[in-house]
Amino acid sequence: MPFPASQPPGPGLPSKVAIPRLARQPDDDKTPGQRRSNRTPRVSMACTGCRARKIRCNGAQPRCQNCLAADQSCSYPQGRRDRFKISTQQNQDMIAMLEDLKGRATEHDRELINDLLAQVSDNVSEAASSLNLSDPFQDGTQGEADTSAEVGSNGGMDVLEEDVLQTEASRATGFVGKSSEVRWLRRLQQDTERLNENTSQLEGPYGPPGDSAEAALQRTDAWTQRQRQDSSVRAQTSASTFYLDSNDTEVNRAVNPFELPPRETAQRLLDGYIATVQDSFPVLSETVFKHQFEQYYTSMLQGIPSAVSHKWLTILNLVFAIGAKYWQLIEADLQTSSQDHHTYWSRAHVLGLDGSSLVAHPDLMQIQITALVAFYFLCVGHVNRAWVVIGSSLRYAHALGLHVRNEDRTATISKKETLLRIWWSLYSIDRILSTIVGRPSFVIEEHCSVPLPLPLAAEQLLDEALAHQFHERYRGAELQHDTPQTAWATDEPSNAGSFLKANVQIGLITQNAMARLYSAKVVTDSWKQAQQAITSLSEQLEAWLASLPSGLNLSQSSFSTSLRRERFILQMQYAGAKILITRPCLCRLDRRIVEQSKTSDNFNNQIARSCVRAAMAVTDLLPEEVDTTYLYQIGPWWSIVHNLMQALVVLMLEMSYCSAHFSREGKQILAPIKKLLHWLRIMSIRDDIADRAYNMAFGVLQGLASKLNVDVSEFIREDTTQAKHPIAFHSENQQSAVGSHAQENILSPIEHAQIFGEQGMCASGFYGSKPGYASMFEVPTVQPQNSPWMVGSTGAGGAAFPDVSHSDSMLSNSFVTGYEEENPVISGKDLFGAYASNSRFRYQ
């Protein structure tokens, strides 16, 4: 069909024709809205799937029509403003990280960081303003980030503020660090004298963080300025300590070192030690030592006493000394004087702590002796001496490799477990003493690989198959000292082994707190870093609490009575660790940090309240009716005054700040203070440490009351009246703490061989030793000889100590090592260089 030409055709070209429009259906009868509804609506943003396939997206949420039909995931890209907000927040996070790194960077790197932040500060501030976000350069975060961590209550950790060598008392007390409640008490005494001064002004100045010479010089200058502003008289720390280091501990060398108490008395002394000390500090193998004790006293009753080394007798007398101190505190009637523990200590000193013992090659019995000496000093309040001696014990342990994992193929699982429990006993004693005196631990954890204890009781270690089963199960987790396994809390058995493990783990957290919050290097950190350390340590402590097995769980409302004592001790340790971690915030940081952010101030107040609540928790553990026998039986009697004074000083510090962190609950502080003082007063009847602590704390309370116009007259009258009529409280269940232990089976010779291998056994039931192994006993076949220690011949109740130099058969030490060759004890010499012939035992 011909089309009309649109223009004249060119020469040789076909003519162009117009294309007519298609006819549309008439829609005059439709409204404009109806006409628009037929069109596909446009969406503001297509999903990523439709974008990739280049098809039209209907924008439906949560999945568009195309993705729904294809059964695919559907997601929409963020808008430009959302991406801008996320990028700005990420920039702020990087700025905060750089601010945190400044405190640990070198001076050169710090300048580079400052230059970089100065370049981006305007852009970041403008972006934050447009998005209504906080400006990291204008919200005051520079204050805590630019101030040294010494701004906290533990300030000045890298300086010595007194002449420790000045007097005999100051030398006996020694240096006391900032983690000690003694230093807190000293600071409280000084602050009490200044309460009438104007305390609304800023306290400072404080230097910057950093390890450069310039930062150190600025901190030194700031310290000098603060000293000039402080007009108070600084007394010696020895005047603020309630421990007994300055008391005389001279040994009674006239004592008969071979004299022993009657069997009944000895058994009760041993039971007191085993019942209260052994589970927390298994320095000795309970089953082995009880078996040796039984055989030795049996041989004495038979009239042919077994020859023993001086070291074993030293251990025995130290156990007696510790047991005698315990029974003295619970006011038990043993028909002995309060100084009997000093008698046993003198015998132990004469037997094993003189002469060549200090320079002899280390062996396991020497480790046990020094550990028991340190623990005895702790019990009698000589904490400075105890800290020094436990250091020697740990040195011996390092020399014998107890700090690393034991992979000796000839050793049984039971023997390995016993050795590592000895190590953790030393560690635990060192941890307590380091906290008390505020000094660093002797253990560098980076050099240690010894596993954690297995959750097995002492008697379960006799079952080698069971010990091997638990060893394989917990082998991986037991090496992770810092990460308690919460998932295993429910199925892990609750026994003495799991208690020891929990005890060790909270000790690790405490030592971590000592290193991160109380070491001299902390002054190079910023206060913001200290806050982060406090947060991290608090999380570790709560993870430990959640990881406890069901029988030791402290968060349950009711408990069985089987492990009541262990739970009480763990509760005391938990509260003490909480106080130690949170104590740096318990001060007026709002007056020390210039331009501190609101977030930092809120954090400081929250942590300070946690510290005071932890101190109140210690008070809540004590019954309303004072029963010292109950407390010594169920609690850590060797350090209970430390636990109570730690809480008491914290409460009085909060009182000195006019309850600044408890503005609505300030009146609640005084009631627990009175309760703790009341307990200390009753304890002071039998405990010299508690007596000193009470007198010092009561004097501070009187000073605070007069300065703060607090009425404590009723409490003072009550205390004065009771002091004139002291009341001794006795528990009806005085024997409950030792009853179960006294009935346990004694290790038989066959069980001994199963644990520690075949050593050979003599007719007497004692065991022979392999060459190069030291002995705990020597069993001669000679008859008793006369002793220069006794008048006349051996009579009833007398027991001879035979000539060990003529003995060939020996009971091997349970923990044999090759380090003990050529030891004077093996050769028959005593620690004075003379042979131990002609020495005997007799009863008192």
pTM for this predicted structure: 0.73
Q: Give the whole-angstrom CA distance, residue 764 versus residue 440.
A: 48
Name the residue among 230, 101, 233 with its Cα closest to residue 156: 230
Terminal Cα distance for the chain, rounded: 144
The mean pLDDT of 771-788, rounded to a whole number, is: 33
Q: For residues 20 and 276, give the distance between their C-alpha atoms in angstroms, rounded to a whole number.
A: 110
- For the segment 389-395, the average pLDDT, to the nearest whole number, is 94
What is the pLDDT, as a whole number, of residue 775?
33
> What average pLDDT does this structure show over 658-678?
77
**Tokens found for residue 642:** 């430390």
Give the type of residue at 420.
L
pLDDT of residue 829: 35
Q: How many other β-carbons are positioned within 10 Å of the β-carbon of residue 822? A: 9
Is the separation of the CB atoms in 192 and 703 below 8 Å? Answer: yes
Q: Which range among 133-142, 394-403, 732-741 shows the weakest confidence by mean pLDDT? A: 732-741
Mean pLDDT within 796-807 = 33
The residue ranges of every structural domain in the chain are 80-139
Q: Cα–Cα distance between 119 and 241 in angstroms, integer?
A: 54
Q: How confident is the model at residue 464 (pLDDT cuts 50, 70, 90)?
A: confident
Q: What is the pLDDT of residue 22?
A: 64
Structure tokens at 578: 């909480």
Query: In which element (H, E) is residue 514 found?
Result: helix 496-517
In this prediction, residue 779 has a pLDDT band, given cuts at 50, 70 and 90, of very low
Q: What distance in Å separates the CA atoms of residue 724 and residue 769, rounded to the nearest whole number?
A: 60
The whole-angstrom separation of Cα 573 and Cα 576 is: 5
Cα separations in angstroms, 474 against 224, 293, 401, 468, 500: 53, 33, 22, 10, 15
Residue 510 above 80 pLDDT? yes
How far apart, in whole angstroms, are the C-alpha atoms of residue 26 and residue 95? Answer: 67
Instruction: Write phi, then psi, for 298 (nearest 5 degrees).
Output: -65, -45
Does residue 175 have a pLDDT over 60?
yes
Q: Which of 304-313, 543-552, 567-576, 739-748 has the largest mean confidence?
A: 567-576
Q: Which residues pair with 148 in a beta bridge?
A: 526
Taking only the tens place, the pLDDT of each residue in 527-583 is 888 999 999 999 999 999 998 998 888 876 545 567 889 999 999 999 999 999 999
Residue 303 confidence class, pLDDT cut points 50, 70, 90: confident
* 8 A C-beta contact, residue 345 and residue 317: yes
Q: How many CB atoms lie within 10 A of CB 807?
A: 18
Largest CA-CA distance found in the chain, in angstroms, rounded: 159
Nearest alpha-carbon partner for 431 in 528, 559, 576, 314 = 576
Q: Which pLDDT band, with edges at 50, 70 and 90, does 702 fall under?
A: confident
Is pLDDT at 760 greater than 80 in this prediction?
A: no
Helices 310-329 and 263-273, packing angle to 10 deg: 80
Mean pLDDT of the chain: 76
Contacts of 655 (CB under 8 A, 6+ apart): 669, 670, 673, 704, 708, 710
Report residue 251's pLDDT band, with 50, 70 and 90 as the boundaries. Answer: confident
The two three-digit tokens of residue 431, written as one number = 């941890």
Is the confidence at residue 806, as pLDDT, over 90? Answer: no
Q: What is the mean pLDDT of residues 366-374?
A: 95
What one-letter code names the amino acid at 147?
A: T
d(CA 501, CA 280) in angstroms, rounded, equals 10
Contact criterion met (CB below 8 Å) for 681 and 694: yes
Per-residue pLDDT band at 76 (split at 50, 70, 90) = confident
Backbone angles phi, psi at 775, to 5 degrees: -115, 150
pLDDT > 80? residue 101 = no
How far is Cα 494 from Cα 620, in angstroms, rounded to an integer? 25
Q: Coil, strand or helix: which one is 310?
A: helix
Cβ 582 vs Cβ 611: under 8 Å? yes
Q: Residue 139: which of 604, 614, 626, 599 has the closest Cα?
A: 599
Q: How far apart are CA 765 and CA 756, in angstroms?
A: 15
Phi/psi of residue 843, nearest 5 degrees: -80, 160
Higher pLDDT, 370 or 770: 370
Return the half-sphere exposure (C-beta side, CA atoms, 13 A cut-off) of residue 783.
2
Q: Is the peptide bond before 62 cis (omega within 30 degrees of 0)?
A: yes
pLDDT at site 837 = 34
Q: How confident is the model at residue 663 (pLDDT cuts 50, 70, 90)?
A: low
Q: What are φ and ψ of residue 557, in 5° steps? A: -80, -30
pLDDT score at 615: 95
Identify any residues that bridge with 17 across adjacent strands, giving them in sequence order: 5
Residue pLDDT, tens place only, 50-73: 988 888 898 888 889 899 888 888
Q: Rounded to whole angstroms, how far apart are CA atoms 55 and 73?
A: 16
Highest mean pLDDT range out of 135-139, 277-281, 758-762, 764-768?
Answer: 277-281
Asked whether 756 and 808 are in contact (CB, 8 A), the reply is no
> How far, in Å, CA of 807 to CA of 823, rounded?
16
Query: What is the rounded distance in angstroms from the CA atom of residue 645 to the CA atom of residue 590?
Result: 27
Task: Please indicate whether residue 475 or residue 824 has the higher confidence score (pLDDT).
Answer: 475
Higher pLDDT, 454 or 745: 454
At 407, list the tokens. Answer: 């992979």
> Which pLDDT score, from 0 to 100, does residue 366 have?
92
Distance, in Å, from the CA atom of 497 to the CA atom of 404, rounded to the nearest integer, reads 20
Tell me the average pLDDT across 747-773.
Answer: 36
The mean per-residue pLDDT over the stretch 648-652 comes to: 94
Looking at residue 332, its pLDDT comes to: 57
DSSP 95: H
pLDDT tens-digit readout, 26-39: 555 555 555 555 55
> What's residue 26's pLDDT?
55
Q: Which of 71, 35, 36, 74 is nearest to 58 (CA)?
A: 74
pLDDT at 627 over 50: yes
> What is the arithmetic mean of pLDDT over 127-143?
63
**What's the pLDDT score for residue 744?**
38
C-beta of residue 29 within 8 angstroms of C-beta of residue 39 = no
Average pLDDT over residues 797-808: 34
Dihedral sign for Cα atoms in the order 772, 773, 777, 779: negative
